[in-house]
Structure 1
């Protein structure tokens, strides 16, 4: 920055004006463009930059790459989704999918009003039984980590492992992502039971790849 003190009239300027001019003339070595770039800013500035761009889904234990991409998407400068700010997609299925991707979850199936038919449910008139109007229903897939030496049928665990439960934090994060992604006036329901037991109707082969008592991925809400 140029020295604005040279613009003052030496015959009329007082000490305060010179002090203000000196403060405005400081040449501070701050790489502003780099700091404001979510892909280049130092890691210690990421929380500040997230607040600056009104990021509303954030976990401190995320890797820096994920934090940078969240900031970039909220700022509309993402290299993955150019010129597509995440906040502008709230209330849309596209926005929901992008929010869920940040918590390692994905939508497998969705049933939303005014769908006339829901698999496994009867229909009277135009609305399926138990299908609440204007409520979207989602089947969401995510990974849960079971504790080592957990209890299973035919097995038992001792000591600390016997009382250790499955970590449900991924579900809590997915719920938070879905709440963040929706518009305030909308409602939804979700199930994370994306696996089901194998039945005779699955016509499983006898090559050893599947067995009764095992599980299969669900492909729809039925």
Structure 2
């Protein structure tokens, strides 16, 4: 990426595929942004750019890269793929921006670990300009959606009640589906996930409570 490309990218502002970071001072916090992009549709992370779009750059780009790459190696599970390059801001290269490009992963969901001695972590997804923790339903949708085997879906009484509800309402939560179906959380969640993976429903992640709505109809 060249300097002119950097300016063009920054003008877009933070969003579902772009994140700004002033420095890599707390790499364990930045790891979740990488995980969120890998679990969603990929994105770019710029080190040396303020949230408001100012570009002060960083003085020691190689040190920023070393610290962040070390954290990504130890605090991501499974390891994710990314590329990076240094973009000098002036001729003497006294300050620069580090550009990371994260691709949507074929091995998702990825997890951000709290420390290198822990074997469990949290999955994140990207929602607008934020990285939010993925619910169990979102994680299962990610996991099952990448399987290539076909799925057989039977529309039974509970599924019919759900689809009838969505015929009259824009969306439904897991809690509401439990209420109308009289199912426990596990069984209600399984039905919702199956319908999402079968492209009948769409899951709408949220940092409060996920919602489910009818998937858009594709005209062939």
TM-score, with structure 2 as normaliser: 0.20
The structure whose residues are more often strand, as a share, is 2
